[in-house]
């Protein structure tokens, strides 16, 4: 069975890898996102828009999707903890950022 490059499972895997990779995590490449930097910013600061733009730049298949295909939701889950839900087309990824800056990612 052929698994399309844009299948929900593959898209979720690409987004999960991106959100769990620190920016500049690969030598010479700005790929990735500084998720722990979101902890000290208000949820209404526009960080979701910046995050979406960076995701579109770093993951070309997401960059080709229409604007309505990408949604990022954030919820404060306690002091210095943040839960993010990234919905990309039919794929969904949850990222949990704790006070120590570690990122835990799940797909589903």
CATH number of the domain that 19 lies in? 3.10.450
**Residue 1 within a domain:** no
5 Cβ neighbours under 8 A, 6+ residues apart: 61
HSE, CB side, 13 Å, CA atoms: give it for residue 53: 5
Query: What's the average model confidence in pLDDT over 4-32?
Result: 90
Q: What pLDDT score does 2 carry?
A: 45
**Residue 51 within a domain:** yes
Q: What is the SS3 assignment for 37? A: helix
DSSP-assigned letter for residue 29: B
Q: Report CA Rg, the chain.
A: 13
Confirm if 103 and 18 have CB atoms less than 8 A apart.
Answer: no
- Structural domain boundaries, residue 95: 8-107
Give the Cα separation of 13 and 29 in Å (integer): 19
Give the pLDDT confidence of 43-61 residue by residue, as tens digits.
678 888 999 999 999 999 9
Q: What pLDDT score does 5 carry?
A: 66
Record the pTM: 0.86
Q: How confident is the model at residue 31 (pLDDT cuts 50, 70, 90)?
A: very high
**Residue 13 within a domain:** yes
Q: What pLDDT score does 97 carry?
A: 92
Per-residue pLDDT at 1 exceeds 50: no
Q: Looking at the 3D structure of the chain, how many domains does it have?
A: 1
Kindly state the helix (H) or strand (E) to which residue 91 belongs, with its residue range.
strand 91-97
Q: Maximum CA pair distance of the chain?
A: 46
**Residue 95 within a domain:** yes
Confirm if 82 and 39 have CB atoms less than 8 A apart.
Answer: yes
Q: How confident is the model at residue 66 (pLDDT cuts 50, 70, 90)?
A: very high
């Amino acid at each position: 069975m052929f698994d399309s490059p844009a299948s929900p499972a593959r898209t979720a895997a690409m987004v999960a890898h991106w959100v769990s990779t620190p920016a500049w995590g690969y030598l010479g490449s700005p790929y990735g996102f500084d998720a722990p930097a979101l902890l000290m910013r208000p949820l209404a600061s526009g960080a979701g828009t910046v995050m979406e733009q960076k995701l579109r730049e770093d993951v070309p298949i997401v960059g080709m999707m229409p604007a309505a295909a990408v949604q990022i939701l954030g919820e404060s889950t306690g002091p210095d903890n943040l839960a993010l839900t990234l919905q990309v087309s039919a794929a969904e990824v949850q990222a949990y950022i704790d006070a120590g800056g570690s990122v835990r990612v799940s797909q589903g």
